[in-house]
Structure formats: structure tokens, C-alpha cells
A and B are shown apart, each in its own frame.
Chain A
Amino acid sequence: MSDADPNSRRNAPALALHVPEPPYRPGDEPDFSSIVVPKAGEAPRPDTAAHPRETFPLTDHLVRVLDDEGRAVGPWDPKVDPDTLRKMLRDMVTVRVFDDRMYRAQRQGKTSFYMKCTGEEAIAVATAAAMHRDDMHFPTYRQQGLLVSRGYPLVKMMCQIYSNPGDHMKGRQLPIMYSDKEHGFFSISGNLGTQYPQAVGWAMASAIKEDSRIAMGWIGDGATAEGDFHSAMTFATVYNAPVILAVVNNQWAISSFSGIAGAERATFAARAVGYGMAGLRVDGNDALAVYAAVQWASERARSNNGPTLIEFFTYRAEGHSTSDDPTGYRPAGEAQAWPLGDPIARLKQHLVALGEWDDERHDALVKEADAEVRAAQKEAEKLGILPEQGRSNIESMFDDVYAELPWNLQEQRAACLKEAGHD
């Protein structure tokens, strides 16, 4: 009987395709007790010059600093001074208030689209606090905390969201696709994953020029499945690029859970070591753990000890965007059941435990942030909201395709202005 004879397989078991399913769907009672949450302070902290393989145990662990009482414990405690902690708390609160206001602005028809980062504020804010101001970020659309933390004017963010004349991108980009060179924030693209090898290339350039600045690339759990994730990891290790590659694992890519991206059998951090890269898996709702991990990876990159992949383990507490309704694919109470809690509440608890904060000051901070965001919104709306835009300065639509306007665009611009009644 030859190998090709179908009869030879008659007794073989039928093959089965495995399609991962999240544990809970709408109507289910979420129960995350099966998620292993190591105690704060448990994870060892290797030397920043450690060989990547020494970090392998940490890729299946969870670096945590804040314990249940809000105390900073263990070798990863970055010992951040209270002023810096208060600034981080303030930035996180500002981001959350900002998100709520802009979400509402979209619902009021003032703009077309918005994306919140609720529950993930600690990641971008603590990262910005741990890195140098002139390091370059290649963010996704959910790291608005980087801009807030680096002091980018809220009014400018809002003008971008409203596509109004205060938007330095001239209304060409979808809301939240910010860009600001001065604040080390690379232009956000709608194409997922593309920024990952770009971050590596920027870091390679810094090394080619014998600079001391480093780059950080950002990606979500879902987009790690893109080919650009693989090419970034390969180039980063081949050239020992001074880069930090962050995976923000918030469990959800629109409606698909992280298992569809490959999280069922291995953590995202575990992918690092296969490329010869250091990997860390970090409690993304623990601002101090985020700060400590980024500090570790920065020191490693800056000392030519190579790149690091950091998986920030967190939860996307809200819908994917203003165009998404999460009740269609996951239980309503999941965010509340999530075992790592809320990043703002946890940092607040820590500051209170240190005796550096209290409820009264916190309430005042929230009020202050709210007033600041409202004032910024008022200021931004003075320059216009989306429905009012797009009727003036139409000729600018044709600029910046190239450095100079070619003849075909000159002709098309004239035709467009005629069509719009501007000739």
C-alpha cells in the first residue's frame, strides 16, 4: 500500500481545527480567578546587561511593584520621588478626563471619531516619565498619555481632533492621529504595525550617528500578528538597535480576544527571547512597574546592551473606538472583574500610603484637571469644530503631496476650487 493510498488513512483520527474563543461572551459572568497574578515584588530584577536568555523566566512572570495595600515592594521598586509620582497621577487623571470630554464631543457631533485609552493610562504616562525628553516614540493611536506627559498643549490635541485651523496637519488626518516632532511623538498611521520597524530604523540611525538617544516602538496585542512585528524584532536584534519595543496587551483587538493573536499558548513577552532579545512582562496597571521596566530597558539600550521587548499586561476598559460597541462581543462587567484593577486608583492608593496624598487633594486634582480640559476645549472650539471645516482653504488639500506642486496637481486644484465655487 503506497503512502498516497487514501485507504491507508482510514483509521486515522479526523483532524480538528482549533479556533480560540474568549472565556466569556455577553451574558456570561466574568471570572478571572484563573489568571495567575504573581505577588508584587516577587519578580527578580536582572542586571541591565544580562544576556537575553536570563530574562526568559520574566517573560512568563509579571513584574509588579505595588502590592494590594499600595506599598512599593521588591527589587523593581524604582524609588520615584513623590513629586514625580504626583505628576504621573496628574497626567493620568488628565488623560482620563480628556478622553471622556472628547468621547462626548464625538457623540455631540463635533468631530467624526475618537479613541479612549481608559484603563491603560499608566503605560504611556509612566513610560514618558522614565525616558528622556529627546527620545523618540513611534506610538499607536492609544498612547495619548505620552503627549500629555510631555506637556503637549491639550488645545493642540483638540484642534487635531476637530480638524480645525489650529491643527498643524491641516485637517488631513483622522482625529487622534497626532504627530509632533518637538515632543518626540512620531506621526501616527492608520496602518497597524508599520511603526514597529520604523522605531527600529530610527534607533539604528541614532547608533549610526553615534548619538545617545533611543527609540521606543509601540504595538497592541492584535497587531503583533502583522509581519512588521516580525521584521522589527529581527532587525532590532540583528543590528542590536537601541530600541524598546512595547506590546500593550489589553486583551482585545476590536472584537477579537488576545487568543486570536496567539496569546493562548505563549505570552507576547516570550516571543522576545526567540529573537535573542530581552523580554519583560509587566503589570500595565502598575505605574511604578511600568516606570521601572522602561527605566531598565532604557539603561540597557543606552549602554549598547541591546533592545528589549516589554509586554504591558492590561485591559481595554472601554470600547475600541467611538464606532465600536463592546457589548456585542464581551460581558459588560469584564473591566470591573479584571484582576489588576485601575491604574489611577492604584497610584493614588500608593501616594496615600506614603502619606503624600489624600482624598481631598485627589478630588481637587480631578476638579483641576476637569477645569483645564474644559478650558482647553473652549479654546479649541473657538477655532472651529469639524462640521464647519472643509469649506475654506480647500487649496491646501493639494499641498505637501510633494515638496513642489506638479502640473497635474495644479490643474486639479484649479478644478477643485471651481467645483467648490472658490474661483
Chain B
Amino acid sequence: MNMIQAINSAHKVMMARDPDVVVFGEDVGYFGGVFRATEGLQREFGKTRCFDAPISEGGIVGTAVGMAAYGLKPVIEIQFADYIYPGYDQIVSEVARMRYRTAAEWTMPMVIRTPYGGGIFGGQTHSQSPEALFTHVAGLKVVVPSTPYDAKGLLIAAIEDPDPVVFFEPKRIYNGPFDGHHDRPVTPWAKRAEAEVPDGHYTVPLGKAQVVRQGAELTVLTYGTMVHVALAAVEENGIDAEVIDLRTLVPLDMETIEASVKKTGRCLVVQEATRTSGFASELVTLVQERCFYHLEAPVERVTGWDTPYPHAYEWAYFPGPKRLKFALEKVMAD
């Protein structure tokens, strides 16, 4: 399966298992979603389980809150993460805080799925990576898968989780992994082990990172599309790095991070999002706080620039092989 098929499969598994799972959002019903993630769900489960929504992110999240209050498990789609902001008040003020403000009298077991990230010539409003706006909100869990296998397992885990989960799907890697070399042909998922996705129910636990490459001299912390970019850069530069795919940003798998950095003594954090106050800043701080006496060099960040996501300058903006090479050299030289 590619990542879209894996996400589609997660929906089907959970809708069949749990009659309280409802799926809605813009174009997700009859048409099956602009990225085909919900294809066939309405046909299989009927119009009251999977349906189209008006173009109103505030309304989609707001009604989902009411449904969760009733006892349903809404799995809603925001067409692009760049358009999640009209729903931000409902997400931050309502979804995230319901369990806390009512001392668990009401809870919000829901999943907010949204395609995110750049590398597709999406320009300013089809490329953003706003995860830090959500990792900063107490009460939300934030997940970013990087493979079809994880996407399905994490989405099922998110739907079954008692807390609200914002599920960012890196759309650049829906159809195949992307190593940052935009001038080379795209490889499909089909040839990869991570595309072996079981048909039935399985989960990838939230809050658990995965060491995707064992290494001894440097720890790379990353997630989403950048997992593949980082893996390629590490190989190309001949560095024996340990690459960690965080998979869940909140709650963060600090144990895995700490063990790795204490072993390697060096750390590079890689994200697509803009730099200032990005999630990388949180990771750098945590590593500095907890691994200071093991560090042999300052912790480096590779990120998008602090500008809105540009169209024509896609590859000057996107943190690709060259930016990673410079950063790897710097952190290894110190």
C-alpha cells in the first residue's frame, strides 16, 4: 500500500469495528477526498457514517466536538493543514481543554487528520507545517507518520486513543518516499518494506519513536518527510548517524532520544517548518537540558526559513540535501 491506501485502510478497519466512528470533512464523502484518503467509505458504510461537510473548518471541528460529547468518535479531515486556522479556536479552546476543564466529565476522543508539508510546489497555502501551533497546546496529541505501515498503525491507535489527536500527513510522501533530490524521479512506495501493510487491525503505539537507522557518532531527530531526506543525507555524507523518526511529537518519546544522544554525543534536529519557535526548538532545549554533559558539540537545527512558504523558490526554501550536508559537517566538525 502507499500511504493514502494505508490511511484509507485504517478508516475501513475502524469504521467496521466501531459503529461510533464517523468520518466527515470537505469532499470526503461521495468523491472520497481530494487525496482519495476516504475513497469508498461512503459506499461501504453509508452517508450517515461518512459525509461531505460545508467549507467551514470551524463548523467541522465545532460539530465534531458536539458529536464527541454525544459519544461518537469523529475522524475529521481538514483538507490542508494550511486551512486549519478557522478551526483553531475550537481545537485549542474546546477540543484540547474539555477533559481538563470538566475533570474528565466530558472527553474528546477524536482525530483531526490533515495533509501537511511542502515539496510539492504548493506555494503559501498548500505547504505549511504548523505542528508547533499544536504541540504548544496542552491537551492535544500530535502525530506525524513517515511510512504507510506507520500511517495505518498510528491512525488506528489515534482513533482508539481516549485523547484528541491532530494527525499530520506529509502529503509529499503519500505516493512514495522523498529524499529531497527533487531532480530525480520519484520512487513509489511499492518497492519498500514499509509498504507491506497488513489488511486488518494493528496499531503503532502513540508516544513511541523509532530508530530507523542505528549509528554511533550522531543522533538525528526528525519526523515526516524529513525522515527520508535525513536518511539519504546521512548515507551520502558517510556519517554513522542514528536517525530517529519521532512519529509522535506529543507525548514525546524522551527515553529513546536521551539514550541515543547520550550514546552519540552529538545531535541534529531536522524539521520542514519555519525555524523560530518551531518544534525543533523544543527538541534542542530538551536535549541540552538532559544530555548536556554528554554533548561534544552544540545541537544544530535544519529547518525551513522564517518566511512564508514561497512558490518559485521551493527548492531554495525546502531543507534539502545541501542544507543537511552543511549542518552535518558543522555538527561533526565541532
Q: A and B bound?
A: yes
* A contact residues vs B (CB 8 Å cutoff): 136, 138, 168-170, 172-173, 177, 179-181, 186-187, 189-191, 194, 196-209, 215, 227-228, 230-232, 234-235, 238, 399-403, 406-408
Measured in the bound complex, the distance between the Cα atoms of B72 and A207 in whole Å is: 12
Measured in the bound complex, the distance between the Cα atoms of B63 and A228 in whole Å is: 10
Indicate which residue in B54, B56, B70, B139 contacts A205 across the interface (CB closer than 8 Å).
B70
Q: Which residues of B contact A406 (CB under 8 A)?
A: 207, 250-251
Indicate which residue in B53, B71, B98, B162 contacts A187 across the interface (CB closer than 8 Å).
B98
Measured in the bound complex, the distance between the Cα atoms of B66 and A207 in whole Å is: 12
Query: Cβ of B199 < 8 Å from any Cβ of A?
Result: no
Query: Across the interface, do B103 and A203 meet the contact criterion of CB distance under 8 Å?
Result: no
* B contact residues vs A (CB 8 Å cutoff): 22, 48-49, 53-54, 56, 58-59, 62-67, 69-72, 86, 89-90, 93-94, 98-107, 138-139, 141, 161-163, 207, 250-252, 254
Query: Across the interface, do B59 and A197 meet the contact criterion of CB distance under 8 Å?
Result: yes
Indicate which residue in A136, A198, A402 contacts B141 across the interface (CB closer than 8 Å).
A402
Smallest CB gap from B96: residue in A: A401
- Shortest distance from the beta carbon of B81 to any chain A beta carbon, whole Å: 19
Measured in the bound complex, the distance between the Cα atoms of B207 and A136 in whole Å is: 35
Q: Which residues of A contact B49 (CB under 8 A)?
A: 208
Query: Across the interface, do A187 and B101 meet the contact criterion of CB distance under 8 Å?
Result: yes
Q: Which residues of B contact A196 (CB under 8 A)?
A: 62
Given A401-B139, A406-B207, residue A201 in contact with residue B100 (CB < 8 A): no
Indicate which residue in A190, A198, A401, A407 contacts B63 across the interface (CB closer than 8 Å).
A198
Q: Which residues of A contact B161 (CB under 8 A)?
A: 403
Measured in the bound complex, the distance between the Cα atoms of B95 and A191 in whole Å is: 12
Interchain Cβ contacts within 8 Å, total number: 146
Smallest CB gap from B97: residue in A: A189
Query: Across the interface, do B59 and A231 meet the contact criterion of CB distance under 8 Å?
Result: yes
- Shortest distance from the beta carbon of A319 to any chain B beta carbon, whole Å: 25
- Shortest distance from the beta carbon of B51 to any chain A beta carbon, whole Å: 8
Query: Across the interface, do A202 and B139 meet the contact criterion of CB distance under 8 Å?
Result: no
Query: Across the interface, do A202 and B163 meet the contact criterion of CB distance under 8 Å?
Result: no
Indicate which residue in B53, B66, B163 contacts A198 across the interface (CB closer than 8 Å).
B66
Indicate which residue in A200, A206, A215, A400 contacts B104 across the interface (CB closer than 8 Å).
A400
Contacts A203-B66, A400-B99 given; 6 further ones with Cβ under 8 A?
A170-B103, A205-B22, A228-B90, A399-B103, A400-B104, A401-B138
Given A227-B58, A403-B99, A403-B162, residue A179 in contact with residue B106 (CB < 8 A): yes
Given A168-B103, A179-B102, residue A138 in contact with residue B59 (CB < 8 A): no
